[in-house]
Structure 1
Amino acid sequence: MAHSPAEQRAMARALELAMRGPRSRNPRVGAVVLSPAGEVLAEGWHRGAGTPHAEVDALSSLPDGAARGATVVVTLEPCNHTGRTGPCVEALIRAGVARVVYALDDPGEVSGGGAARLRAAGIDVEGGILADRALALVGAWVTAARLGRPHVTVKWAQSLDGRAAAADGSSRWITGPEARSDVHARRAEADAIVVGTGTVLADDPALTAREGEKLRAEQPVPVIVGARETPADAAVRSHPHPPLFYDTHDLAFVLDDLWDRGLHRVFVEGGPTLASAFLAAGLADRVLAYVAPVLLGGPRLAVGDIGVPSIDRARRLRVIERVPLGADLLFVAEPEHPAGDPPPRDIGDRAPVSAGPPRRT
Structure 2
Amino acid sequence: MHRALALAAQAIGLTDPNPRVGCVILAADGSELGAGHTQPAGQAHAEIMALRDAAARGHDVRGATAILTLEPCSHHGRTPPCCDALIGAGIARVVVAVEDPNPLVAGQGLARLRAAGIAVELADAAAAETSRELNIGFFSRMRRGRPFVRLKSAISLDGRTALPDGRSQWITGEAARIDGHAWRKRAGAVLTGIGTVLADDPRLDVRLVPTARQPLRLILDPRGRLPASARILQAPGEARVIGPGRAHLPALLDDLGAQGINELHVEAGPVLSGAFLDAGLVDELLIYQAPVLIGDGLPLASLGALAALADARHWRLVDAVPVGDDLRLRLRPA
Question: How do 1:1-361 residues align onto structure 2 when only pairs under 5 Å count?
Answer: 23-27=15-19, 48=41, 73=66, 75-79=68-72, 89=83, 97=90, 99-102=92-95, 104-108=97-101, 110=103, 111-113=105-107, 114-115=109-110, 118-119=113-114, 122-125=117-120, 142-148=135-141, 149-158=147-156, 160=158, 162=160, 164-166=162-164, 169-172=165-168, 175=171, 179-189=172-182, 190-191=184-185, 192=187, 193-208=190-205, 215-218=208-211, 221=215, 222-227=217-222, 228-247=224-243, 248-255=246-253, 264-284=262-282, 285-288=284-287, 290=289, 292-296=292-296, 300-306=298-304, 308-319=306-317, 320-321=319-320, 323=322, 326=325, 330=327, 332-337=329-334
> Cα distance 1:318–1:229, how it changes in 2: closer, same or farther (>3 A)?
same
* Residue 160 (structure 1) shift: 1.6
1:174 to partner: Cα distance: 7.1
d(CA) in 1 for partners of 2:221 and 2:48?
Answer: 42
Give the whole-Å Cα distance in 2 for the aligned partners of 1:81 and 1:121: 13
Aligned CA RMSD, in angstroms, stands at: 5.2
Shift of 1:44: 11
SS at 1:296's partner residue? coil
**Which amino acid in 2 is paired with 1:23?**
T
AA aligned to 1:334 is L
TM-score (norm 2): 0.63
CA distance in 2, matches of 1:81, 1:310: 52
Which whole-Å CA distance do the structure 1 matches of 2:15 and 2:252 have between them?
17
Check conservation: 2:205, 2:214, Cα contact below 8 A.
yes
Q: CA deviation at 1:249?
A: 1.9
Q: Over alpha carbons, which structure has the higher Rg? A: 1
Q: Where does the alignment leave 5 or more consecutive residues of structure 1 unmatched?
A: 4-8, 60-66, 338-361
Aligned to 1:345: none
Matched residues in 2 for 1:195 and 1:336: separation? 22
Task: Give, in whole Å, the separation in 1 of the partners of 2:25 and 2:132.
Answer: 24
In structure 2, C-alpha distance between the alignment counterparts of 1:34 and 1:302, rounded to whole Å: 49
Distance 2:40 2:320 in 1: 39
Give the aligned partner of residue 354 of structure 1. Answer: none
Q: Residues 83-117 of structure 1, C-alpha deviation per residue, up to 9 Å, x if partnerless?
A: 85997657866x59462435532342743434366
Aligned residue identity for 2:198? L
d(CA) in 2 for partners of 1:45, 1:288: 30
Q: Equivalent residue of 1:195, what SS?
A: strand
| Deviation at residue 312 of structure 1 after TM alignment | 2.3
Q: Retained in 1: the 8 A contact 2:157–2:293?
A: yes
1:359 is aligned to none
Other structure's SS at 1:274 match: helix
* Cα shift at 1:196: 0.7
The whole-number CA distance in structure 1 between the counterparts of 2:148 and 2:277 is 15
TM-score by length of 1: 0.60
Amino acid in the other structure paired with 1:147: S
Report the CA distance shift for 1:180/1:252 in structure 2 as closer, same or farther (over 3 A). farther
- Listed as ranges, the gaps of 5+ residues in structure 2 are 53-59, 142-146
State the percentage of identical aligned residues: 26
In 1: Cα distance, 2:220 partner to 2:312 partner: 27
Aligned residues of 1:105 and 1:112 also touching (Cα < 8 A): no
1:27-57 per-residue CA deviation (whole Å, 9 max, x = no partner) reads 2558799999x9x9xx9977747x9977699
In structure 1, distance between residues paired with 2:260 and 2:133: 10
Following the alignment from structure 2 to structure 1, what is the Cα–Cα distance between the partners of residues 287 and 26?
47
1:32–1:336 distance in 2 versus 1, CA, 3 Å: closer
Contact kept? 1:141, 1:264, Cα under 8 Å: no
Instruction: Give 1:332 deviation, angstroms.
Output: 1.2
The change in CA–CA distance for 1:71 and 1:272 in structure 2 (over 3 A counts) is same
Deviation at 1:24, TM superposition (A): 2.5
Question: Conserved in 2, the CA contact under 8 Å of 1:206 and 1:239?
Answer: no
Displacement, 1:235?
A: 1.8
Deviations 1:243-271 (A, max 9, x none): 23333324345545656777644432211
